[in-house]
Chains A and B, each alone.
Chain A
């Protein structure tokens, strides 16, 4: 075959390849955007795999999703949360220790480190141990809205180790010195009063019972959060409505104002 014939074939093949790649990428985007993420996602695909490999594949994919979340986390709070999620998910104990250790070392003053504090609370195995006073100092850093969850997971943790009534009481004791702001705390005060009753601590029992009663007149955290969310959504809606006419006006005049850009 002559060189010119090869040249002619190349002249046909090269543009055809470009058209192929371009058209394929357009079709791929179309096909992917057609998929309803609620109906078809990686979980639904994994669910169709044979049982023998499903768990391993599912574990690997979920692990990958958590790693993606860690990689895309922009704030310290998000990174601490992503690391804690990874630590909770992994099935190797040494990996869990490593992730929680990272959280404690990098973000010790964030509420998102709570699970790491709870994990190392009274832990007898190296490399780290968080003592009860250290945990209590950590809890005191945050507003009561965040404290409730931290107290709960801390208490659950020491109960895992079959803590005695006195240890549990000592753990929750700082609650007697604060004025509760939410009804959710009533459960914790009930536990405190029960523990005090069992330990024969009359004054502490009376204080805990009184605080429990106080809690019953307070709002639930959930209600307050829902109200705040409603307010925020309404404000966002208002802002969005305000932006539309501004953008329309800019479009008509063909100019882009600095305010609209902002």
Chain B
């Protein structure tokens, strides 16, 4: 598994990765909050605004949102292409001729890509924190800095989802399906809030059906909401992340075990 992960991580030298990496750093540098001319402002209108502008805990910085967007884009495109290309080029047969199980191959790919994407996010965050330190002369509060890294949790299910899709279809299709799935997830994420606001006489008949559909899509909105750095919500978020990731990877693994790789 680690061998496959190491092989995947060699993508770090590819120009596409380096371009995304540099763009993420520049975005982080330009969007650093708290520096002169760039205050921390959290819009509190609308559903998203209400979730982000809660009074509990530290907020998610705009620069971190930019960092995670670059990271998720990277995950979407690399996750969708890696396994289909290995299958197409027969590289997978070469790898699986070694004493490696298909599950180990899948996990190796997953963790290799995960590290690649994490590098982008961590480097962007370091740029943001460094920029703030050199501009203002002090660091962000420790809790705020830790809070930004909770966003990384969103990467786990998203990458697992794309890797799972790539076990079923070729690379371009995986990319398209991945993007559509994420867009559906984003639109579905407001369903629980809307149902809670609707009168029971309206939501009573349809909420069960809506929730059935809703459960097929990860709710990425949860990763962006403001909550206390320590407590029940982060714990639930961790459980949520791990469970979805496991479900996606298990489905991907079943597919890889049953499909014809030749």
Contacts and interface: CB of A to CB of B under 8 A. Distances in A.
B187 interface: no
A68 B51 contact: no
Given A30-B225, A71-B201, A20 B250 contact: no
A1 B258 CA distance: 7
Interface in A32-86: 32, 34-36, 39-42, 44-45, 48, 60-61, 64-65, 67-68, 71
Interface in B217-262: 219, 221-222, 225-227, 232-233, 236-237, 239-240, 242-244, 246-247, 250, 253-254, 257-258
B199 A16 contact: no
Contacts of A5: 257
Contacts of A67: 199, 201
B135 interface: no
A9 B243 CA distance: 13
Interface string B63-97: 00000000000000000000000000000000000
Given A39-B45, A71-B200, A1 B194 contact: no
Nearest to B202: A64
A61 B194 CA distance: 12
A260 interface: no
Contacts of A45: 47, 194, 197
Range of interface residues on B (Cβ < 8 Å): 35 or more
Nearest to A43: B197
Given A5-B257, A20-B247, A61-B198, A36 B236 contact: no
B50 A23 contact: no
Nearest to B236: A26
B19 interface: no
A26 B233 contact: yes
A12 B254 CA distance: 12
B243 A20 contact: yes
Contact of A34 (B50, B198, B247): B50
The secondary structure that dominates the B interface is helix
B2 interface: no
Contact of B243 (A17, A40, A41, A65): A17
Of B44, B196, B242, chain A has the most CB atoms within 10 Å of the CB of B196
Nearest to A37: B197
A35 B236 contact: no
A64 B192 contact: no
Interface in B131-187: none
B54 interface: yes
A31 B250 contact: no
A19 B238 CA distance: 10
A19 B193 CA distance: 21
Given A9-B254, A64-B198, A31 B192 contact: yes
16 contacts: A12-B250, A16-B246, A23-B239, A26-B233, A31-B225, A34-B51, A34-B225, A35-B47, A39-B50, A40-B50, A42-B197, A42-B198, A44-B45, A45-B47, A64-B202, A65-B199
